[in-house]
């Protein structure tokens, strides 16, 4: 379990046993600007007789001009400059020149500095085909209407964290309120039971008055069936939730600082007797402000984020032997999600933007997704469908396409008593994305909780024929042997096209 503290020099590691509406992209790409009339005019320009060649300058080794020779190109093709001029004339602006050059480089795969009408049409057909397939496969984003329940037992206090408890036959949920009330729900959000933390856990006595203590975060530990709850009283309480009545098992007290975020991970292959021991490690000087979120990646990486612009997000190994990657974002980062298989990192914060990053390039995002009006409180990556979920403070959930970086859908959750001009208090972690066994999203808003069920992948969607477990690096076809050789960071594979699905694996790294 990993715990972070608001002190600028400390974090700790311990181990122990609604309305739906489609949304378009704000910035259309060049292909979207081309209408049928533009394509007809382009066809005329492509098929027009050759208007002449281009001059190619020859230089000697001492950079002295030797000669100029004119090179011609086949009729029915355009050079980059001709392509730019044609699209500038059709669109009436040079605004698209940058995308025009990028489009040209995508099309002229032969590297002969020209494109013909056939290549241009092939590219457009492939582009539109992929987009149509993407939209058809994602027509239905949710099953049924959002399910909303009021947590009246919270006594009007917001929910700090939503947890998922898995069993052999089903799953259930636990909400932890700011005031220290644990509510247990079934998978249809029917309240089953509640448990209130003891008085000394939520109140601290001083000489003159009692001080209210709030919960800051909670985690579920599935291997030992316990829930850990952190509080502003510098304590972490552990509750037994396996069978029978819920009770407090033990608690850690006298922590140096208030734990603001927790994350739990355990090694399924080597559990041992870790329940009998408690240990912790301090990692100094990560952030200057309170840590908003912490995550552990099994390859011994720790990811943290804070509201500081000099160290907004940090990825480091627990032993601090490798280089730490630091992201610097103005006004900091509130939340993030990381996909190890894709090496993809997404972040969000008070600037209302979702940034998509390569894990190893903290200086420049690969994309910036704009569309939210208030700070972003939760993010999630859905690898199977290639989607990104983002949730903002005004109870707006957006679904983004991971490949095209466009907004597919916007969900405006209508909680009771919610008003656009007045945003009520929300918990520190109001967003939960559950991928298995049933994909769904849970959102908390003040003393309400909402559930959105995502469509379950069908057998046809999940039973794809895949030859590799990782992306391909390259492929080549041998016409004499009728074989395709394709490589990646696993053994080389050779496929005989005449034998259908039969193929041979050749061991060896490429």
Taking the C-alpha atoms of residue 405 and residue 123, their distance in angstroms, rounded to an integer, is 19
How confident is residue 5, by pLDDT bands cut at 50, 70 and 90? very low
The pLDDT value given to residue 366: 93
pLDDT tens, 165-218? 987 677 899 999 999 999 999 989 999 999 999 877 777 666 567 788 999 999
Average pLDDT of the segment spanning 327-339: 94
Percent of residues, the chain, with pLDDT higher than 90: 35
How confident is residue 50, by pLDDT bands cut at 50, 70 and 90? low
Q: Taking a C-beta distance cutoff of 8 angstroms, is the pair 483, 499 a contact?
A: no
Taking the C-alpha atoms of residue 270 and residue 452, their distance in angstroms, rounded to an integer, is 36
The pLDDT value given to residue 223: 87
Among residues 387, 369, 398, 372, the alpha carbon closest in space to that of 435 is found at 387
Conformational region of residue 167, where left means phi above 0, alpha means psi within -120 to 50, and beta covers everything else = beta
3-state helix, strand, coil in the chain (%, to 5): 15, 40, 45
Q: How many CA atoms are closer than 13 Å to the CA of 310, on its beta-carbon side?
A: 6
The pLDDT value given to residue 10: 36
How confident is residue 110, by pLDDT bands cut at 50, 70 and 90? low
The pLDDT value given to residue 138: 47
348 vs 319, more confident: 348
The pLDDT value given to residue 23: 41
The pLDDT value given to residue 334: 95
How confident is residue 21, by pLDDT bands cut at 50, 70 and 90? very low
The pLDDT value given to residue 346: 97
Taking the C-alpha atoms of residue 411 and residue 396, their distance in angstroms, rounded to an integer, is 6
Where are the chain's structural domains? 2-17+139-460, 469-506
CATH number of 2-17+139-460: 2.130.10.10
Kindly report the average pLDDT of the chain as a whole number. 78
Average pLDDT of the segment spanning 228-256: 91
124 vs 190, more confident: 190
CA angle 165, 170, 171 (to 5 degrees): 25
Taking the C-alpha atoms of residue 383 and residue 439, their distance in angstroms, rounded to an integer, is 12
pLDDT tens, 369-406? 999 999 999 999 998 888 999 999 989 999 999 988 99
Average pLDDT of the segment spanning 324-336: 94
Model's pTM, two decimal places?
Answer: 0.66
The pLDDT value given to residue 461: 46
Average pLDDT of the segment spanning 271-289: 72
Residues contacting residue 289 through CB under 8 Å, at least 6 positions apart: 6, 8, 306, 307, 308, 332
The pLDDT value given to residue 496: 53
* SS3 per residue for 220-236: EECCCCEEEEEECCCCE
How confident is residue 31, by pLDDT bands cut at 50, 70 and 90? confident
Average pLDDT of the segment spanning 352-362: 94
The pLDDT value given to residue 19: 38
Q: Tokens 């945003």 correspond to what residue?
A: 423
The pLDDT value given to residue 258: 92
CA angle 324, 327, 330 (to 5 degrees): 155
How confident is residue 270, by pLDDT bands cut at 50, 70 and 90? low
Query: Which range, of 82-86, 474-478, 504-508, averages the lowest pLDDT?
Result: 504-508
Q: How far is CA 243 from CA 183, 209, 225, 237, 239, in A?
A: 15, 38, 9, 18, 11
The pLDDT value given to residue 44: 84
Check whether 12 has a pLDDT greater than 90. Answer: no
Q: Taking a C-beta distance cutoff of 8 angstroms, is the pair 155, 445 a contact?
A: no
How confident is residue 488, by pLDDT bands cut at 50, 70 and 90? low
């Amino acid at each position: 379990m990993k715990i972070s503290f608001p002190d600028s020099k400390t974090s700790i590691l311990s181990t122990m046993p609604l309305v739906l509406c489609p949304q378009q992209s704000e910035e259309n790409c060049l292909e979207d600007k081309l209408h049928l009339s533009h394509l007809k005019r382009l066809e005329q320009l492509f098929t027009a007789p050759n208007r002449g060649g281009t001059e190619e300058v020859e230089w000697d080794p001492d950079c002295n001009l030797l000669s100029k020779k004119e090179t011609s190109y086949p009729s029915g093709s355009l050079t980059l400059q001709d392509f730019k001029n044609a699209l500038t004339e059709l669109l009436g602006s040079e605004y698209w020149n940058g995308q025009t050059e990028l489009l040209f480089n995508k099309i002229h795969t032969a590297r002969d500095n020209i494109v013909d009408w056939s290549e241009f049409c092939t590219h457009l057909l492939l582009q539109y085909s992929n987009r149509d397939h993407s939209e058809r496969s994602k027509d239905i984003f949710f099953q049924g209407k959002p399910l909303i329940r009021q947590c009246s037992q919270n006594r009007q206090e917001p929910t700090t964290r939503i947890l998922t408890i898995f069993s052999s036959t089903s799953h259930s949920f636990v909400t932890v309120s700011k005031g220290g009330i644990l509510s247990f729900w079934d998978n249809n959000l029917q309240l089953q039971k509640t448990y209130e933390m003891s008085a000394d856990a939520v109140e601290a006595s001083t000489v003159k008055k009692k001080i209210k203590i709030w919960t800051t975060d909670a985690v579920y530990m599935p291997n030992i069936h316990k829930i850990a709850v952190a509080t502003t009283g510098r304590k972490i309480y552990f509750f037994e939730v396996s069978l029978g009545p819920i009770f407090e098992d033990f608690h850690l007290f006298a922590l140096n600082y208030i734990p603001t975020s927790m994350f739990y991970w355990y090694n399924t292959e080597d559990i041992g007797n870790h329940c009998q021991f408690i240990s912790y490690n301090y990692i100094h000087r990560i952030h200057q402000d309170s840590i908003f979120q912490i995550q552990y990646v099994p390859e011994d990486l720790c990811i943290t984020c804070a509201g500081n612009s000099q160290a907004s997000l940090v990825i480091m190994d627990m032993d601090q032997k490798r280089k730490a990657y630091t992201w610097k974002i103005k006004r900091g980062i509130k939340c993030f999600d990381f996909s190890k298989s894709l090496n993809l990192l997404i972040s969000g914060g008070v600037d209302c933007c979702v940034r998509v990053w390569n894990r190893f390039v903290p200086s420049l995002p690969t994309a910036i997704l704009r569309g939210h009006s208030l700070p972003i409180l939760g993010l999630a990556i859905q690898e199977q469908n290639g989607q990104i979920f983002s949730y903002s403070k005004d109870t707006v959930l957006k679904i983004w396409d991971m490949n095209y970086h466009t907004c597919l859908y916007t969900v405006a959750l209508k909680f009771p008593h919610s008003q656009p001009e007045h945003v009520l208090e929300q918990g520190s972690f109001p967003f939960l994305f559950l991928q298995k066994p049933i994909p769904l999203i849970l959102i908390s808003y003040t003393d309400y909780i909402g559930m959105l069920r995502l469509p379950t992948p069908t057998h046809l969607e999940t039973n794809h024929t895949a030859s590799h477990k990782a992306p391909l690096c390259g492929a080549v076809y041998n016409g004499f042997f009728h074989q395709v050789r394709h490589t990646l960071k696993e053994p080389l594979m050779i496929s005989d096209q005449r034998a259908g699905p039969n193929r041979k694996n050749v061991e060896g790294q490429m």
